[in-house]
Amino acid sequence: MIRITEVTKAYASSRGLVPVVDGVSLSLDAGRSLALMGRSGSGKTTLLYLIGGLERPDSGQIFCLEQPLHSLTGNSLARFLRKNVGFLFQFGNLLSYLTVAENVAFPLRLNNVPAAQRDRRVQELLEKIGLAPAAHALPRELSGGEIQRVAFARAVAHRPGILLADEPTSSLDSASAYNLMDLMFRVGRDEGRTTLVATHDPAVTALADRTVRLEDGKIAHATDADSTDRSAGQES
Ligand SMILES: Nc1ncnc2c1ncn2[C@@H]1O[C@H](COP(=O)(O)OP(=O)(O)OP(=O)(O)O)[C@@H](O)[C@H]1O
Ligand SMILES: [Mg+2]
């Protein structure tokens, strides 16, 4: 569950303080997915970083899994993020000297998950992403689409309640992009994860439960799969 109210963040520029996120309120239930659209510079990455605790808001409240992120600091913030939040970036950022399996196991090691349980989770995820045979490969032996699937598996290995993804498909061809998003949303639903994806990719918005468009740091347009105004409804 993510709930943010009246969140504002401004950066200093030559024209003074420029609001990048400007009074945004948004809530997303556990297990739901949201695609964050908007032109370059509209504030998508900044909003993800605020929700993921990598940036602090100037004002407003951010609740993730009932925790007030805006008032956590230091170790308690780090501990919360390590356990509950997964990040997926545009270019996987895999550790090049670790194998596929070791990359996926990384957050489980950080969270001191016992070895047997860790191995089971890694195996389960490698099967889900279709890369069990590549467990011992190094990242340089993988295609771009495979790298992003491993990065996804790593981002959710520790079963975080929240996954934040920043343009995860922008370096992929449309088939690999669809494959990754289908996987991300399906596994997310199965595991009850709240998933937020910043994207320019219409394929992503078609698969997400909801879409929100940012313009100059404000919410300009929102759809909801539960509402009747959505034309391409895909829920049974
Ligand atoms: N640390 C920072 N210091 C100053 N300005 C920043 C900082 N981070 C972002 N900005 C500015 O905030 C605005 C929004 O940036 P942001 O990266 O959130 O946009 P975005 O929607 O993710 O764009 P893109 O689609 O290009 O990734 C931009 O004008 C950017 O220059
Ligand atoms: Mg961005």
Q: What is the DSSP letter of 80?
A: H
CB of 128 within 8 A of CB of 183?
Answer: yes
3-state helix, strand, coil in the chain (%, to 5): 40, 30, 35
User: Which atom of ligand 1 sits closest to the CA of residue 214?
Assistant: 21
Query: Which residue's CA is the closest to the ligand 1 atom numbered 29?
Result: 41
Whole-number average pLDDT of the chain: 91
Distance (Å) from CA 45 to ligand 1 centroid: 7
Distance (Å) from CA 219 to ligand 1 centroid: 16
Give yes or no for residue 46 CB within 6 A of ligand 1: yes
Integer Cα distance of 109 and 111 in angstroms? 5
Task: Write down all domains in the chain, each with its CATH number in brackets.
Answer: 2-224 (3.40.50.300)
Distance (Å) from CA 36 to ligand 1 centroid: 14
Q: How far apart are the first and last CA of the chain?
A: 23
CB of 94 within 8 A of CB of 139?
Answer: yes
pTM: 0.91
Query: Which residue's CA is the closest to the ligand 1 atom numbered 30?
Result: 41
Consecutive 10-residue averages of pLDDT for the chain (236 residues): 95 90 94 94 96 94 92 91 94 93 96 97 97 97 95 97 96 92 94 95 90 94 52 38
